[in-house]
Amino acid sequence: MARGHGRILTSIWEDSDFLKLDEREQRFYLFLISQPNLNHAGLLPLTLRRWSRKAHGLTSAEVEKRLRSLDDAQFIVMDDDTEELLIRSFVRNDGVWRMPKVMGAAVSGALEISSRRLQLALLTEMDRIPLDDLSDEPTKMRGGEGPSIRAQVAGHIAHLRKAFGNPTPDPSRGGSVSPSGTPSDTPAEGGTEGPAKPSTRGRAGASRAHSPAPAPTPAPNPSPLEEGSAEADGPAELVVLDGDFVEAAEAAPDFDPETVSAQKIVGEWLQRVNKRPPQSVIGQTAKQIKKLVDEGIAADDIRAGLARWMRKGSAPSAIPSFVNEAMNATPAAVGNVVQLGSGQPLVGTDARVAGWLAIADASPDEDSA
């Protein structure tokens, strides 16, 4: 869902780093924060030509020049090769880290990042999240008590770390490396001394690097709501925890079968391919699967469609068509356990995938219709 507004800290006008920028660079930073497709991780596609059309007389070359200045000042991190841009301190300054559900959505958005440079920069920002400021009291759920807000947020961070592994900047980028160090003050965040100033952006506290907390058990679905919190008192900003996790899908934990996520389906698909597909194919496939999940398409229908798609070898954009065929076909009765040559039955994921393939085999091909 597109964002309807961008929130800016009023203390940005007291930040010495921000005041060193010229007015064109300042305006462009505010422009980036207000983009409708900015996700909860602070990630944007790098679209110079599109952005150049947002002001009279602005050119792609001028947009790139302003972006370079913001990158040099560490307000943003961008990668020309992957055409991605990260607003570095967005997760902390936007208050994302205070709400477990929104933090889960931020991790989902972060796992779309292809650039190792951006991944490293975001992990550095995660180290600066003041987890000690979050409640460590168990949260109240409909069926009892659940993990604390701190444990849930720490769990999301741990999941992101596991997914990213140990990213290192690409040496082929010729100087486009991760920031050499975390600045003493986060750009657009203000100083670290004195009490925190009120803000409509849910201002994070002072920068305090710390060792990541141990990975707790992922929060159950639905996530628990703490009484009196913004999430409990009103609608959450975004409640979808799963998504197109791309590189993290193979390492994704199992979820309740009643709430199968797009991440899990992508992981199952990656386990069945002979060789790992190119990153662009994985990303396109994951996005198609996420769209189908978001539409409420049953996980088994998506799996059956994927089986047909895998046999045909079509482009990822054709996945919805194959899912539609699988949904509306009338398959012959088939079992979901296939015997191996040795007589040993397939179980678990292997059995499910074998069942999907059997359904695809029994369904009429579009070419024979």
Task: Return averaged pLDDT per consecutive 10 residues of the chain, 369 residues in all.
Answer: 76 93 96 93 94 94 96 95 94 87 90 93 92 88 84 92 79 40 44 36 33 38 38 34 36 42 83 83 89 87 89 91 86 48 52 59 52
Q: What is the DSSP string of 120-170?
A: HHHHHHHHTS-GGGS--SPEEETTEEE--HHHHHHHHHHHHHHHH-S----
Three-point CA angle 74, 31, 90, nearest 5°:
45
CA distance 144 to 229: 17
Three-point CA angle 298, 299, 302, nearest 5°:
90
pLDDT of residue 319: 94
233: tokens are: 């008192």
pLDDT of residue 211: 34
